[in-house]
Amino acid sequence: MAVLEDIDRARPLPRHVAIIMDGNGRWARQHRLRTRLQGHEAGAESVRAVLRAAEAIALRYLTLYAFSTENWKRPREEVEGLMELLRRFIDDNVDELCEKGIRLRTIGQTEALPERTRAALQSAIERSRDNAQLDLVLALNYGGRQELCDSVRRIAAEVAAGRLAPEAIDAETIARHLDAPDVPDPDLLIRTSGELRVSNFLLWQIAYTEFYATPVLWPDFREETFYEAIVAYQSRARRFGDVRAHT
């Protein structure tokens, strides 16, 4: 296991890390728990661990895939439990987020979330909006394809209104119309539980992102696993299509 001291401060560190938090259900089964929701509850401590690790390396942006547009297909009891778990997590941790200078943000169609969950999110977003140490971005009711569809609609509306010429549309235009246009693309994407797919997450933004997959299930993810991913990231040469490495 890597520790904080294994990270080479002389080498580039990621500015933005995104995480697909996977394996809660399997963790619950392995521990012979009654419901999958108990695995999700255990995963809440992993979020706190990642926030501690992010603070230790002065990470600027952290995006967590918390609930996808496809997750509504899960059993109603699990979905309702996830929404209540999210509400409780926000309410229980908003004071600490503010103390540590963490700004809470969301991407995705959060208007579809239950009212109590939306209210907790909005309150925490407002309370933390001036914090500048770390932007914690929760992807909620989020899908990469849906985000791109929404971006195209926004661009089409500008074209229809005469504010944008079709021939002026380029990659930067699309990026400006995404859910969080000011957030830089992830430098590193971590996926837990050993799966090797992106699951409709940040499809536009991860074009040149480094991937790191770990067999660790999300409820077992702690600072050491995060540091292992950072050490692996530092060992890679990022070329962005060039033949020369970029730092």
Which of these, 180, 174, 149, lies nearest to 16 by C-alpha position? 180
Q: Quickly list H helices, the chain.
A: 24-30, 37-56, 76-99, 115-128, 144-160, 171-176, 223-234
Of 6, 8, 71, 182, the active-site residue reads: 71
Q: Locate 83 and state its tokens.
A: 């929404």
Which pLDDT score is estimated for 89? 97
- C-alpha atoms less than 13 angstroms from C-alpha of 176 in its C-beta half-sphere: 9
Tokens representing 143 are 């899908």
The pLDDT assigned to 237 comes to: 82
Instruction: Look at residue 245 in the predicted model and tell me its pLDDT.
Output: 62
CATH number, domain 15-142+178-234, options 3.30.60.50, 3.40.1180.10, 3.30.70.20, 3.90.1150.10: 3.40.1180.10
Q: Whole-angstrom Cα distance, residue 142 to residue 196?
A: 19
- Are the C-beta atoms of residues 48 and 21 closer than 8 Å to each other? no
For the beta carbon of residue 153, count every other beta carbon within 10 angstroms. 11
Q: Provide the residue ranges of all domains of the chain, joining segments of one domain with +.
A: 15-142+178-234
Which burial class, exposed, middle or buried, applies to 173 when counting CB atoms under 10 A from its CB (0-12, 13-18, 19+)? middle
pLDDT value of position 26: 97
Mean pLDDT, each 10-residue run in order, the chain (247 residues): 91 97 97 95 97 98 98 96 97 97 98 98 98 98 98 98 97 98 98 97 98 98 98 88 62
Which listed residue (6, 22, 170, 242) is catalytic? 22
User: Which pLDDT value is given to residue 246?
Assistant: 65
pLDDT of residue 243: 55
User: What percentage of the chain has pLDDT greater than the value 90?
Assistant: 94
| Known active-site residue 93 | no
Mean pLDDT of the chain: 96
Residue-wise pLDDT tens digits, 162-220 = 999 999 999 999 999 999 999 999 999 999 999 999 999 999 999 999 999 999 999 99
Residue 131 catalytic? no
